A and B are shown apart, each in its own frame.
Chain A
């Protein structure tokens, strides 16, 4: 039932990328997040072992400051999301809860111009690739529709960062979603299937690679054969299909 929303959001991302005349990137996800969640700004930071400390893109100066502040202070919603494995929704940075939780960050963020910060982990189970951060200049919660959109956009950004790992990065958008990896499979991700997670785990052993790499290989395999991710995953779980350790995702079967 969420598939339409995911497709709609992907359409907006591809449209933004086409207008900018560039390949689809995290910046497009940020731009769509700003308009669909009606926030003031957004940023994406990729995660290292220390935390979300490589800022990939920001939509404005305040976002940049918020991302940097959290790195500098070592605290804030974005620092918490990867440890908690859940979004952190600070609808009012001026409330007691925010002040207690982030004694350094909360007042600094407010003087930088943020009233609310929403941080979403870019993660799939044990795979962590970064953080999507959003801010509003005045306090206020996300509506449930906005929250759903942010989660779908975070999924898209997660996949983008992971595809970078795979060395593929074929994220060219032609405006109708064809040839763009997240577009071809975003609906698969929205209609979540446990087989995709199970197959990811199985591939870590079959191929001797990390879960992040296994997920990227799974998607690359499905993409190269123009098959649905859930179907390929189902074949792996049913042990009808094994992937070859030789990393040639674009070769024929």
Chain B
């Protein structure tokens, strides 16, 4: 573990949390840093919708293959087991025979992953989601690294609770729905921008995020005004 990278990550995450931040952008940053810190190949945060589904809030890559790996886990997978048990779940080699999640393991190996770790996002006795780490090579993550990964999962939980608290107190359920709806707005904006530019979804997401950062706006606000705009031009022309 690179200790400079580690301290830098917690400084950046803390810096973000004292400002008026966008939860999806924050979780996206957290997945990016998890990948770098854990020498992982990919990472993602899924949240438990009270409707009964696990939904992707952020992933280190917006590529379709990775997103699909989270969606499959509504039926089976380490995330679902982690969410149900409230404990971290490890799969050291997805290609090994006898996996408890045949469909997930097949899709994950197909996407180029051999190892997966799911860490619970806990709020007191409630599990609100999970941080998923993927690695292209077989073999478990180091126990010392996993302690850091769990701390990152806890930071994700705190971020979710904190985001809008600056304005007023809200229940966890309200915050969670706001985050999930933000994600939907961003998906709609990605679709609109990808269609406008003929680009893929990953590229569309990067453009939206970069524009939000460069203009000091929240990612969700940029996405919402672009979807609401009657023009297909990005950024959305002022005044719609």
Contacts and interface: CB of A to CB of B under 8 A. Distances in A.
Query: Top 9 nearest A-B pairs by Cβ distance?
Result: A201-B191, A2-B52, A197-B187, A125-B184, A198-B191, A86-B178, A201-B192, A126-B227, A202-B195
Interface stretch (A29-37, A38-46, A129-137, A143-151): A143-151
Interface string B67-89: 10001001100000000000000
Contacts of B75: 1
Nearest to A91: B171
Given A147-B173, A192-B55, A197-B191, A125 B181 contact: yes
A123 interface: yes
Interface string B171-207: 1011101100111111111111111100001000000
Contacts of A5: 51-52
Contacts of A123: 181
25 contacts: A1-B53, A6-B51, A101-B168, A124-B184, A125-B181, A126-B223, A147-B50, A151-B51, A192-B53, A197-B187, A198-B187, A198-B188, A198-B191, A201-B188, A201-B191, A201-B227, A202-B191, A202-B194, A202-B195, A203-B191, A204-B191, A205-B195, A205-B232, A206-B195, A211-B228
A89 B173 contact: yes
Contact of A2 (B53, B182, B186): B53
A215 to B, nearest CB: 9
Contact of B228 (A85, A88, A126, A191): A126
Contacts of B189: 126, 201
A197 B188 CA distance: 5
A194 B71 contact: yes
B192 A205 contact: yes
Interface centre among B67, B74, B230 (most CB of A within 10 A): B74
A200 interface: yes
B109 interface: no
B49 interface: yes
Contacts of A124: 184
Interface in B51-109: 51-53, 55-56, 64, 67, 71, 74-75
Interface of B: 49-53, 55-56, 64, 67, 71, 74-75, 164, 168-171, 173-175, 177-178, 181-196, 201, 223-224, 227-228, 230, 232
Contact of B191 (A2, A151, A191, A200): A200
A193 B194 CA distance: 17
B56 A86 contact: no
Interface centre among B75, B169, B174, B192 (most CB of A within 10 A): B192
Contact of A237 (B184, B191, B196, B224): B191
A1 B52 contact: yes
A87 interface: yes
Given A88-B174, A190-B52, A201-B193, 9 more contacts: A2-B49, A85-B182, A86-B170, A124-B184, A125-B227, A190-B51, A198-B188, A198-B190, A210-B230
A193 B71 contact: yes
A192 B227 contact: no
A152 interface: yes
A152 B49 CA distance: 11
Interface in A77-129: 84-89, 97, 101, 121, 123-127
A220 interface: no
Interface string A201-222: 1111110001100000000000
